[in-house]
Amino acid sequence: MVEPAIDPVVRRVEVAAGVELHVEDLRPATLHADGPPVVLVHGIAGTTADWARVAPDLATTRRVIAYDQRGHGASDRADGRSSYTFDLLLADLVALLDALGLTAVDLVGHSMGGVVALRCALEHSDRVRSLVLVDTAAAPAAATGPVTRRVVAALLEGAATVASAVHAAREPVPAADSAPAAGVWADDSPAADHADAGNADIGNADIGNAGGLAIVDDTAHAVEAGGSVADRQLAGFDQLDPDALVAFGRELGEYPSMVDRLGEIECPTTVIVGEHDTTLRASAAALARAIPAARLSVIVGADHSPHASRPLAWLAAVDGHFGRLATPPPGRPGPIPDQV
């Protein structure tokens, strides 16, 4: 990995009335690096810092734009839970591309950010030159992990921050708490229907029955283990608007499936998933099979965030994706094996 040739240009971009996004813009130092721009879209509780171990390498040959989604990081918090929907996240992305004068980009989305990227490819196909989906599902369902449910319950009861709720919720969970808590995300949510639809449409693969907020449980486990991963994830949670977590948790349980539309995606697509992301491994494989000419890369030893836990292998997978494009960026290698 390399250090950035220049410091990123940091700016705030208004994408909606009362909502400005924190944007970091990295540009290659050489005039001969003319690869198309890459836009990085983080997942829930993420920030631009999520890409710190990979963005400098990408920026050696192309312009790289990362931003904090509304309610996350240094971006503005929206007004109430009704202002946190996937429709608005998609509108924010398109408005950002317009504001920066970007027509077609290579779009990289992680987890919830992958859902936003996937919708952009479906609804604004002219804006997406190619697509990289990292630990993403086409029909997300609300997570059913006990830690996640306890975190959301704590927020609904008035916990000050998401990070404090994660700390409190990582205590051992009684067996009686293994069922979804009523009033948080119940089993009778539309998510169950989405999962069934995904299973019926794509070879019984579990494309829709994915824990959209698996990162919450992952973070609680990382806190117990300690180290830089826990520090980074807790920092993201500390900057997350609690309303955003609650709203997107519910949104993930009600979001309509995109399974039936995956065949419409025409741009080159790579689906990346961490070997140990047991929640999304099956979903990622089904996603790659359903998108025409898509490719699956499983990052050995990685979890839900392979760009953070296994950055070199993740970069190799992304380089392989760029190598498959008609006009690959200069100095990048060609395709790679499906497992790295």
Residue at token pair 């040739």 = 5
Residue 9 neighbours by CB distance under 10 Å? 11
| Cβ(154)–Cβ(168) below 8 Å | yes
Q: Which residues pair with 141 in a beta bridge?
A: 211
Q: What is the pLDDT along the chain (340 residues), one digit of tens a residue?
A: 555 456 789 999 999 999 999 999 998 876 555 678 999 999 988 999 999 999 999 999 899 999 999 999 999 999 888 999 999 999 999 999 999 999 999 999 999 999 999 999 999 999 999 999 999 988 755 444 555 666 666 666 666 666 666 666 555 544 444 433 333 333 333 332 333 333 223 222 233 333 445 555 555 555 455 555 556 566 667 788 888 887 887 777 677 889 999 999 999 999 999 998 887 888 899 999 999 989 999 999 998 899 998 999 999 999 999 999 855 444 443 333 355 5
Q: Which residues pair with 20 in a beta bridge?
A: 14
- What's the pLDDT at 143? 46
In angstroms, the CA 165 to CA 16 distance is: 30
In angstroms, the CA 204 to CA 320 distance is: 29
Number of residues in the chain: 340
* Per-residue CA distances from 287 to 115, 124, 262, 280, 310 (Å): 12, 19, 8, 10, 22
In angstroms, the CA 318 to CA 340 distance is: 11
Q: Is 243 helix (H, G, I), strand (E, B) or coil?
A: helix
**Token duo for residue 66:** 């990362």
* Per-residue CA distances from 126 to 66, 156, 267 (Å): 20, 40, 10
Q: Which residues pair with 83 in a beta bridge?
A: none
| Cβ(336)–Cβ(320) below 8 Å | yes
In angstroms, the CA 99 to CA 97 distance is: 6
For residue 149, which of 169, 167, 168 has the smallest C-alpha distance?
169
- What's the pLDDT at 218? 55
**Domains observed in the chain:** 9-324 (3.40.50.1820)
